[in-house]
Structure 1
Amino acid sequence: MFKNYRSVVALLLFFAGMLNYLDRAALSVMAPLVKKDLQIDDAQMGILFSCFFIGYCLFCFLGGWGADRFGPRRVFGWAAAVWSLFCGATALAGNFAHLLIVRVLFGIGEGPMGTTTNKSIANWFPRKEVGRAVGFTNAGQPLGAAVAAPVVGLVGLHFGWRISFVVIAVLGFIWLLFWLWLFRDKPEQHSRVTDAERQLIVTQRPASRAGKSPAASSISLWRYVFSLPVLGVASAFFCFNYIQYFFLSWLPSYLTDFQHLDIKSMSLIGILPWLGATVGFIGGGIISDAIYHRTGNFLLSRKLVIFCGLAIAAVCVMLTAWSSSVTVAVSLITLASIFAYMTPQACWSLLQDIVPSERIGTAGGFVHLLANLAGILSPGITGFLIQYGGGYASAFLLASLLALVGIALLGLFVRQQSVNALRALA
């Protein structure tokens, strides 16, 4: 994967994910300072975390549709510009209402990222490399969350929380310049791609063994997105996302409010779960491709990784609910992150094998929309549980239960027989 021009594409997508999650995690890292400055309580902070996903979910779907119609280069370019702009605009917020509006608009900009990344990978990587490509490019996301803790935390402590958002916005616009310079929608359109690499990619793209299928194009999109296999992938993705957004939104507050760490200590210790998540992303991709190489069964290789990842994560999250030691709690959360983050890359690559390439952007956008409804529910529910319910323990137990639900729904809906029937439509 790192010998040809597609490695440049992988690096661009890696850094896009890194910046995306650096932006997204910034508010949770700065939450103690923002709450104090703007006089916001835990329930209101939960609403702020959740409202980001109102615009985000809608544009997951619209971004995927746009990537199919206009190409990922144009869609990702506009998305990066919008999210960087409104990330910087967070520095201008003077009260809860202002911050609420900015977060919704910020979410609109970030919405297309996941599906556009998946569309880019489907265009640029052969089937045998899909797992590693998805794992590597998406590994930038938790790494961005890891970097957010020390970078945003220390900048906020020394220069104020508002300056940290301006710095991140500038980084986003710098990435945008490189994206427009180096990326094209397909290798066929790029002069720097060799004939050998172009031929390899074109003939071995996932879900497109014989190029674009007129039959698949004539079939209604909704036959794909409402099929059991696609809904099964979306269900597993939703349950993973509930855990992800619980950690992304509330982990810094958990470490400061429940484990009584100061912001400086939280900024350093808070790196560990996200480093673990990075290992999970990359490791999950390598493992799923290795299983596929040994068994020749693409579906099995992805399902095994999702089953094992969510099961081990569920146990670790459940045990955290009863942990009063910061060392034990952070160790369990880090271990949960390693295994939970094997799930999304397996979901993305599984979807590429189920849905034809000319439908992957829109179908992926629909899956991402359903999966990211967890972003609306998880932070808000957690905030109310902390303030009015059973505290952090009940929040950890609910996240653990949903991981087990994800396993059950994936096993029930994503079966070889139903996948074969869906492929037969094309």
Structure 2
Amino acid sequence: MLKRLRWTMVFMLFMAGVISYLDRAALSVAAPLLTKDLNLDPAELGIVFSSFFVGYSLFCFVGGHMSDKYGPKKVLLVAMLVWSVFCMLTAGVAGILSLLVVRVVFGMGEGPYATCTNKIIYQWFPAEKRTSAIGMANAGQQVGGAIAGPLVGLIALTWGWRVPFVAIGILGILWLIIWRWSAADSPNQHPLLVEESENPKRSHHHGIEKDVAVLSLGQYLRRPTVLATSFAFFAYAYVLYFFLSWFPSYLTMERHMSLADMSWANIIPWVFGAAGIMLGGIVCDALFRKMRRGILAHKTVIFVSLAISACCVALAGQAYSVATAIALMSGAAFFTNLTLSTYWGIISETVEPARLGGVGGFMHLVANTAGIIAPTLTGVLVKITNTFQIAFYISGGVALLGALAVAIFVTDQSHKMTWLKGTSAKEPS
């Protein structure tokens, strides 16, 4: 029963990820039609893409802190309600101002998703299986991005660009109804496992969000390992959001593909990205079991994958054909997403359970400032230079810096002993 419920939770979180990226990618896919309707230039479109992350990045941290305080199930329930409603409200915008307001609040709603997902999996799975479970759950985001192209493209071409936002919002409402009655923060809170969860050993094994913290949140946020991991996650996010926001427009503006052709071509990198997320968790857990050194296993995957991704993105900027550009961005998507589960893996190895939401939320806050910077900077560069080439080079350079940050500053020394001993709140030397 426990095993089945564990993977039911993963499936529900996977579907939440599908919906969240359907929501996000919808604007990018519909952008060619939306920009004509609302009369937006590339710089203004870049600001619209970035506005989502103003709310999103802040509420990554707020949502993480709230998940420590109120539990991830409740926080994710409210989050899905907010982002679904404001996804639907996107269909009613009349200009850039109303679009910006809707996108900011929409981003606030989606902010808590990642941290809540990771915290729930931490409480449902033992250490040797967590990274694989996180990878499976987060793969839903890439699947959502993949199906957004043909789905949103077809609906937009048939009924207009506003209709897809309403349809996707309705999917979110249906999900939260099922989530309300089927989910729990941890096994010892699930109605079907009440008797089993009364066992104190099992309760301790999975962790409880109301554990008393030994170290303060500030002590964790000053650690080089946390800061370097957060910057590497920023590098991951920069590549992701550059791709998520602008790759469809790159195919139509610079490669002159039709909206219909672009919608299908855009699937390919997302499929590779989904494969990368799922395999990344499996590879990390395999290295963890082999090395018995969790930090080293996660660090290795991040460094190698981000370095390869940096090369792929930079080369894509000077590709001579559409097929080559798509192939290189597919490689970048695969290797970048191979790292997605590993950032949380490092945090879960070095942070006590009662601070996982806050520290994880901070890491997501740092990472998702890339969503503010990458789309706007790309839009400005495209407007000035009339080409995407420099934007590709910058994206690859950021990925390389993230790889180096992890290699240099993330140490294999375990900080867990400080809080496991439970007596000293001082920072380890």
Q: Which TM-score tier does this pair reach, normalised by the shorter chain?
A: over 0.9
Matched, 1:252 2:241: no
Matched, 1:400 2:396: yes
Quote the Cα distance in structure 2 between the aligned partners of 1:202 and 1:343. Answer: 30
The amino acid that maps onto 1:182 is S
Matched, 1:103 2:96: no
Q: Give CA-to-partner distance per residue, 1:49-100, whole Å, 9 cap, x none.
A: 0011111111111101110101111110110000000000000001111111
Decide which of 239, 246, 249 is 2:235's aligned counterpart: 239
How far the C-alpha of 1:391 sits from its partner, in A, is: 2.2
How far the C-alpha of 1:195 sits from its partner, in A, is: 6.2
How far the C-alpha of 1:146 sits from its partner, in A, is: 0.5
Which residue number corresponds to residue 21 of structure 2?
21
Unmatched segments (≥5 aa) in structure 2: none
Which residue number corresponds to residue 315 of structure 2?
319
Matched, 1:176 2:176: yes
Q: Give CA-to-partner distance per residue, 1:84-121, whole Å, 9 cap, x none.
A: 00000000001111111111111111111111111111
The amino acid that maps onto 1:249 is S
* Equivalences for residues 264-283 of structure 1 within 5 A: 264-283=260-279
How far the C-alpha of 1:412 sits from its partner, in A, is: 2.1
Matched, 1:337 2:339: no
Which residue number corresponds to residue 261 of structure 1?
257
Which residue number corresponds to residue 82 of structure 1?
82
8 Å contact from structure 1 (residues 124, 201) kept in 2: no
Matched, 1:328 2:317: no
Decide which of 219, 222, 227 is 1:223's aligned counterpart: 219
How far the C-alpha of 1:219 sits from its partner, in A, is: 2.5
Quote the Cα distance in structure 2 between the aligned partners of 1:263 and 1:287. Answer: 37
Q: Give CA-to-partner distance per residue, 1:259-296, whole Å, 9 cap, x none.
A: 11101111111000000000000000000101111111
Aligned to 1:260, the other structure's residue is in SS state coil
Return closer, same or farther for 1:184/1:82 CA change in 2, 3 Å cut-off.
same
Q: Give CA-to-partner distance per residue, 1:334-384, whole Å, 9 cap, x none.
A: 011111001121101221111111110111111111111101000000101
8 Å contact from structure 2 (residues 61, 360) kept in 1: yes
Return closer, same or farther for 1:201/1:319 CA change in 2, 3 Å cut-off.
farther
Matched, 1:63 2:63: yes
Q: Give CA-to-partner distance per residue, 1:389-421, whole Å, 9 cap, x none.
A: 472110000000011100111122210237468
Quote the Cα distance in structure 2 between the aligned partners of 1:18 and 1:211. Answer: 26
8 Å contact from structure 1 (residues 224, 422) kept in 2: no
8 Å contact from structure 2 (residues 233, 343) kept in 1: yes
Quote the Cα distance in structure 2 between the aligned partners of 1:169 and 1:211. Answer: 30
8 Å contact from structure 1 (residues 4, 197) kept in 2: no
* Equivalences for residues 7-18 of structure 1 within 5 A: 7-18=7-18
Quote the Cα distance in structure 2 between the aligned partners of 1:198 and 1:253. Answer: 54
Decide which of 383, 390, 395 is 1:387's aligned counterpart: 383
The amino acid that maps onto 1:103 is R
8 Å contact from structure 1 (residues 88, 169) kept in 2: yes
Quote the Cα distance in structure 1 between the aligned partners of 2:337 and 2:272. Answer: 9
How far the C-alpha of 1:11 sits from its partner, in A, is: 0.5
* Equivalences for residues 37-56 of structure 1 within 5 A: 37-56=37-56
The amino acid that maps onto 2:57 is C
Quote the Cα distance in structure 1 between the aligned partners of 2:161 and 2:226. Answer: 41
Quote the Cα distance in structure 2 between the aligned partners of 1:390 and 1:357. Answer: 49
8 Å contact from structure 1 (residues 115, 361) kept in 2: yes
Return closer, same or farther for 1:218/1:300 CA change in 2, 3 Å cut-off.
closer
Q: Give CA-to-partner distance per residue, 1:28-63, whole Å, 9 cap, x none.
A: 000000001110111000000001111111111110
Return closer, same or farther for 1:173/1:211 CA change in 2, 3 Å cut-off.
closer
Say how many residue pairs are matched: 421
Which residue number corresponds to residue 36 of structure 1?
36
The amino acid that maps onto 2:259 is I
Quote the Cα distance in structure 2 between the aligned partners of 1:87 and 1:211. Answer: 30
Matched, 1:73 2:76: no
Which residue number corresponds to residue 412 of structure 1?
408
The amino acid that maps onto 1:178 is I
8 Å contact from structure 1 (residues 48, 99) kept in 2: yes
The amino acid that maps onto 1:409 is A
